[in-house]
Structure 1
Amino acid sequence: MNQSNGTPLLLRTRGMAAEIAARLRVMIDEGELPPGARIDEKDMCAAFDVSKTPLREALKVLVSEGRVTHRQYIGYRVAAIDLDDLASTFEMLHGLEAMAGDLLRQRVSAAQVAAIAAKHRRMVECHNSGKRLEYFRLNQQIHQMIVDAAANPVLSTVYATLMAKVHRARGAANADMLRWSESMDEHEAILAALEDPAHADLPEILRTHSENTAREVLAVLDRTRANSASVQDARTPESSGEPEEVAGSDQV
């Protein structure tokens, strides 16, 4: 095949790979594919209606990003989350939330409060109708809007960077969040503090909400890791001389 014939096929493959990578990235970051989950190439090809070539190109990208791992004879899995690093990141976020709340007491405008309140109402609607994923996305946006309203660009940038680090963890825990209603109540308290002209309680309310969120996310992920370890132990064959069945060995 000459180059003129081969190039369009290569471009199509690369374009498809980028689209698949973007879709898988969202599935991983928002918890649809949890940490440790096996990525079955056959199932994914069927789901995306593609061949293995663009899928594997997409998976290579996600491996380079640290979202996916690959082992020969084992296949692809969603990367585990480092809980120690996650806990440290959350500790930083607690302080940034409180700092933003303190700055907001002098700087937030009525227009910014109104915009946050409008986004909050949409989040309440998602909560009431059980739209967990949409709720999660709006929740993330509201937190960034609150920090941005503190009018400190450095704070906003650092906060956004750290939130990106915990986004996948929050998404993974979101599918099993036991305190959804409690979190909703805390957001109601945040909005009430924003709408209070004094904003006196805002720093502490924001910090407490951040701490409660971190506690639940870490607990959910710790349970998930323990359950996964139990399953792996149950599947490990006894030393009877029989060959171990390798997960993912059906991959081509």
Structure 2
Amino acid sequence: MSVTQTLASTPRLRTLGMSAEIAARLRTMIEEGELPPGARVDERAFCELFDVSKTPLREALKVLVAEGLVLHRQYIGYRVAPLDLDELRATFETLHGLEALAGELAAARLSEAALAKLERRHQAMVEAHAAGRRTEYFRINQEIHQVIIDGAANPVLAGIYAALMSKVHRARGAANADTLRWQESHEEHEAIMAALREPGRPRLAAVLRHHSENTAREVLSVVERSLSEPARRLANDNRGQR
């Protein structure tokens, strides 16, 4: 490639780099529930938020459309893709079993170094909870579960778990805003740590499964409400037109 060609391609490369960063930030907002399922993506607002023109923003949105996280309709614009309730139910049912299996394996295989790491991350999560830092709490929560999965020392289990968690991650983020469930989750994590500290860890598998089932119940409830909201709005609009 000549110097002239290189210089000519530089602005495009910068745009692509910028769009990748924007896509990553939007992806995080969607996965952590800041942009809930069905939410409209206001292009003008996000251009102002990221201090960019529409070109890199739309490049980023095309990536998220390809990933299935965002939907695009001509003349309507972009919206965060809705969640599939039936798929979520089936995924959570499988995850309950994986959490319990990880608990059984980690009970025997989790190292002292991993337990020390869990203690540190749990303390950081406690501090985030006390300070009301929901996003930080949610991220540390995920890290703790990953350390336990890694502690099971079963790469096949870890691979299946990662694939399934990618399907439910943004649904969990959407439900994370519920204050009551946040407190319940915090208490359940205290129970997980107590089970991890016990000699032989005989309760760990059951405690992890219980936590997974409670999380699924709340997440599915929140998603079901979000999916029925458009129907309620339509009914209200129809009543108002009578």
Q: TM-score, normalised by structure 2?
A: 0.93
Equivalent pair of 1:136/1:174 in contact (CA under 8 Å) = yes
Task: Select between 47-56 and 106-115 the one with higher mean Cα deviation.
Answer: 106-115
Matched, 1:77 2:79: yes
What is the 5 A alignment of 1:146-157?
146-157=148-159
What displacement does 1:21 show?
Answer: 0.6
Residue 59 of structure 1: which of 48, 54, 61 is its match? 61
What are the residue-to-residue correspondences of 1:118-133 with 2, within 5 Å? 118-133=120-135
Q: Which residue number corresponds to residue 173 of structure 1?
A: 175
Q: Is the 8 A contact 1:148 1:156 kept in 2?
A: yes
In terms of mean alpha carbon deviation, does 27-36 or 10-19 score higher?
Answer: 10-19
- Of residues 195-204 and 172-181 in structure 1, the stretch that sits farther from structure 2 once superposed is 172-181
Please give the root-mean-square deviation of Cα atoms over the aligned residues, in Å. Answer: 1.8
What residue is the counterpart of 1:43 in the other structure?
45
Q: What SS does the aligned partner of 2:180 have?
A: coil
Q: Which amino acid aligns with 2:148?
A: I
Give, in angstroms, the shift of residue 227 of structure 1. 2.1
Contact 1:25 1:62 in 2 (8 A): yes
Deviations 1:77-99 (A, max 9, x none): 00001011011111111000100
Return 28-37 or 151-160, whichever deviates more: 151-160
Q: 1:73 to 1:237 in 2, by over 3 A?
A: farther
Measure the CA separation in 1 of the matches of 2:104 and 2:178.
32
Q: Does the 8 Å CA contact 1:31/1:168 hold for their aligned counterparts?
A: yes
1:232–1:48 CA distance, 2 compared to 1 (3 A): farther
* Helix, strand or coil at the partner of 1:69: strand
Name the amino acid aligned to 1:128. Answer: A
SS in 2 for 1:178: helix
2:37 partner SS: coil
Alignment of 1:85-96 (within 5 A): 85-96=87-98
Structure with greater proportional helix content? 2
Aligned residues: 239
| Partner-residue secondary structure (3-state), 2:78 | strand
Task: Quote the Cα distance in structure 1 between the aligned partners of 2:240 and 2:148.
Answer: 55
- Give ranges in structure 1 of 5+ residues lacking alignment: 241-252
Mapped pair 1:31 → 2:33: yes
Cα distance, 1:59 vs structure 2: 0.5
